[in-house]
């Protein structure tokens, strides 16, 4: 190789290495902070801070080339005198990315969590002192937040040992979020009334079957969104479904043997008679949705706030279809419904390193519960999305995909602190929206199952993953046996043996810990 050429090559290589290495230094998180704090307080330029947010499957956000340049984000910045640096965290990799963020110590000024202060996505950051206690700041700058957010939501943000509040919660005032849906046109066709008890429901399902409905009750993998009858018998067995038994012990509610056997029996009957798909154990969420919206199902369970969307899709495919939310079937105790949701949907934590601008950040969140914020996040920008007529905003609810995507983004994603049950201003404008509000306020508010919940979760549950339930799934060990019983591979009468197995494989420790924590009122929520 000629010498000249070789020197050139070496030069290029060296340059490449230098460029490659220095590239990593550029997005240094410290620079933004330094600039913001360097200014004197009198100038009061916009407060600059970074915030990490999960994309939550919101199409508008996920498709956006640069969310920080979005007109709505910029309008928000103008209204709150801030300069946001939103760092998106992909919905499906949320936990991994959050843990990476903490592990590499590249933590933004504000971190969005989901649920309580000990959620797995926070990786123990609160215990390890990454975030600022907010008690004094809230007293001084967050009065509206303190007034708006109920005590039970603050309790989830509080370390019960020190009394420190670590996060600002977004709330769900009506934790009964899932509902029982039924095709009222089919109900009319078979000449039945709306069923109220489990027995009546089975009769309706049988009538649906006779009338040729393919899946009278839409089943789904692991009884997700198909747990109606476990709810009726109050044996859901999820994370927030611990119960104080007469023997003084706090146990998961599937220890209620008689009710559990009865509930499994109902599913077995439905399976044997073909009232539920015989392959429901492999039906995933997308299949479930298409089964429902293509009109193959007669009755199912879904989040009530999906009524406008699922209802419209169903009627597009089956023009005669009519759908309604009905009270969930009741069991022997007269109750029914689905597991309650956590009263906190999203939560926001302030990094200790951002202490110098924490006051402004709290003010920013405080603004979220103002009337100005409600109008902006419900309808959008004046002149562009809505007009003022005689001092009243006039808004038309969009029906196309782009429009609904934008509404979801504004109503749900960008509005950081609100009551997420439903958007009152938008929903009250349409008929299905009003139906949904009515269902939430007058029906769902009175149903649903809630037991004792521990947050942070029980240590023993972490040690025994097979016994660890999810927020809407039974522990794997129990689920496995229950499914085998429904599919006729095991006798329902063997259920006591399943509980013995549960106890011998670590369940004893779970119950001991649960009972002790319940008795000491140590972060146990009822």
Partner 1 sequence: MEATTAAQTTLTKKEQPRDKRRVLRFMWKYKALYLLSLPGILYFLIFKYIPLMGSVIAFQNYNLFAGFSGSPWVGLEHFTRMFSHYDFLNILKNTLLLGIYDITFAFTAPIILALLLNEVRMVLYKKVVQTVIYAPHFLSWVIVSGIFIGVLSPSSGVANTMLGWFGLGPIYFLGEDSYIRSVLVGSGLWRDVGWGTIIYLAALASINPDLYEAAEMDGAGRWRQMLSITLPALLPVITILFLLKMGDFLDYGFERVFVFQNPLNIRNSEILDTYIYKAGLTQMQYSYATAIGLFKSVVGLFLLAIANTLSKKATGESLY
Q: Residue 107 and residue 125: Cα distance in Å, rounded?
A: 10
Residue nearer to partner 1 on the CB measure, 25 or 282 = 282
Minimum gap (Å) between residue 8 Cβ and partner 1: 11
Judged by CB under 8 A, the chain residues 214 through 273 that form the site for partner 1 are 221-222
Task: Sketch the per residue contact string, 403 through 442, with partner 1: x for CB under 8 A, - otherwise.
Answer: ----------------------------------------
Task: Sketch the per residue contact string, 3 through 22, with partner 1: x for CB under 8 A, - otherwise.
Answer: ---x--xx--x---x-----
Minimum gap (Å) between residue 131 Cβ and partner 1: 12
Minimum gap (Å) between residue 342 Cβ and partner 1: 18
**Judged by CB under 8 A, does residue 130 bind partner 1?**
yes
Sign of the dihedral defined by the CA atoms of residues 91, 94, 98, 104, in that order: negative
**Judged by CB under 8 A, does residue 111 bind partner 1?**
no
**Dihedral pair phi/psi, residue 296, rounded to 5°:** -85, -15
Judged by CB under 8 A, the chain residues 83 through 102 that form the site for partner 1 are 95, 99, 102
Tokens 């994309």 identify what position?
A: 55
Contacting range for partner 1; rule: CB under 8 A; set: 76-84, 388-396, 445-453, 460-468: 460-468
Put residue 127 in one of left, alpha, beta given phi > 0 → left and psi -120 to 50 → alpha: alpha
Q: Residue 420 and residue 184: Cα distance in Å, rounded?
A: 28
Residue nearer to partner 1 on the CB measure, 354 or 474 = 474
SS3 sequence of 299-331: EEEEEHHHHHHHHHHHHHHCCCCCEEEECCCEC
Minimum gap (Å) between residue 37 Cβ and partner 1: 24
Of 280, 316, 273, 277, the closest CA to residue 295 belongs to: 316
**Judged by CB under 8 A, does residue 487 bind partner 1?**
yes
Of 360, 354, 363, the closest CA to residue 41 belongs to: 360
Of 28, 31, 74, 128, the residue at the interface with partner 1 (CB under 8 A) is: 128
Element (H, E) at 4: helix 3-23
Minimum gap (Å) between residue 19 Cβ and partner 1: 13
**Judged by CB under 8 A, does residue 190 bind partner 1?**
no
Of 51, 84, 123, 362, the residue at the interface with partner 1 (CB under 8 A) is: 123
Q: Residue 109 and residue 350: Cα distance in Å, rounded?
A: 6
Q: Give the contacts of 273 (CB within 8 A, at least 6 positions apart).
A: 206, 209
Q: Give the contacts of 519 (CB within 8 A, at least 6 positions apart).
A: none
**Judged by CB under 8 A, does residue 523 bind partner 1?**
no
Tokens 């926070």 identify what position?
A: 122
Residues that bind partner 1 (CB under 8 A): 1, 6, 9-10, 13, 17, 95, 99, 102-103, 120, 123-125, 128, 130, 221-222, 277-279, 281-282, 462, 465-466, 468, 476, 479-480, 483-484, 487, 489, 505
């Amino acid at each position: 190789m000629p010498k000249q050429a070789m020197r050139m090559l070496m030069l290029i290589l060296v340059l490449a290495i230098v460029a490659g290495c220095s590239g990593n230094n550029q997005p240094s998180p410290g620079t933004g902070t330094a600039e913001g704090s360097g200014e004197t307080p009198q100038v009061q330029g916009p407060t600059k801070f970074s915030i990490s947010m999960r994309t939550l499957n919101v199409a508008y956000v996920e498709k956006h080339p640069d969310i920080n340049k979005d007109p709505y984000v910029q309008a928000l910045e103008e209204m709150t005198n801030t300069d946001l640096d939103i760092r998106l965290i992909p919905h499906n990799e949320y936990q991994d990315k959050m843990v990476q963020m903490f592990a590499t110590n590249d933590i933004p000024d504000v971190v969005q969590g989901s649920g309580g202060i000990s959620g797995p996505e926070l990786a123990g950051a609160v215990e390890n002192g990454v975030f600022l206690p907010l008690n004094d700041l809230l007293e001084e700058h967050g009065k509206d937040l303190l007034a708006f957010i109920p005590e039970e939501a603050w309790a989830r943000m509080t370390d019960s040992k020190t009394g420190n509040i670590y996060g600002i919660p977004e709330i769900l005032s009506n934790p009964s979020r899932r509902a029982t849906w039924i095709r009222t046109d089919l109900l009319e066709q078979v000449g039945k009334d709306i069923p109220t008890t489990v027995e009546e429901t089975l009769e309706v399902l049988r009538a649906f079957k006779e009338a040729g409905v393919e899946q009278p009750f839409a089943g789904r993998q692991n009884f997700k969104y198909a747990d109606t009858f476990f709810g009726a018998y109050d044996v859901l067995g999820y994370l927030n479904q611990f119960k104080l038994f007469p023997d003084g012990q706090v146990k998961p509610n599937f220890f209620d043997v008689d009710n559990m056997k009865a509930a499994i029996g109902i599913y077995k009957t439905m399976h044997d008679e073909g009232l539920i798909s015989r392959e429901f154990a492999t039906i995933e969420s997308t299949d479930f949705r298409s089964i429902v919206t293509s009109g193959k199902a007669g009755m199912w369970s879904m989040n009530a706030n999906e009524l406008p969307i699922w209802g419209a899709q169903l009627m597009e495919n089956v023009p005669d279809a009519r759908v309604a939310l009905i009270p969930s079937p009741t069991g022997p105790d007269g109750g029914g419904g689905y597991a309650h949701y956590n009263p906190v949907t999203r939560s926001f934590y302030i990094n200790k390193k951002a202490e110098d601008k924490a006051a402004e950040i709290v003010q920013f969140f405080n603004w979220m519960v103002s009337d100005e914020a409600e109008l902006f996040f419900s309808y959008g920008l004046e002149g562009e999305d809505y007009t003022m007529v005689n001092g009243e905003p006039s808004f038309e609810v969009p029906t196309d995909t782009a429009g609904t995507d934008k509404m979801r983004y504004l109503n749900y994603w960008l509005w950081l602190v609100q009551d997420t049950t439903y958007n009152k201003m938008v929903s009250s404008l349409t008929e299905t929206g009003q139906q949904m509000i009515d269902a939430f306020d007058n029906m769902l508010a009175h149903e649903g199952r809630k037991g004792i919940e521990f947050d942070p979760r029980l240590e023993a549950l972490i040690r025994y993953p097979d016994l660890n339930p999810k927020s809407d799934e039974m522990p794997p060990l129990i689920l496995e046996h229950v499914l085998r019983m429904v599919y006729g591979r095991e006798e329902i009468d063997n259920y006591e043996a399943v509980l013995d197995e549960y106890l011998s494989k670590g369940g004893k420790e779970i119950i001991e810990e649960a009972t002790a924590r319940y008795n000491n009122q140590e972060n146990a929520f009822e």
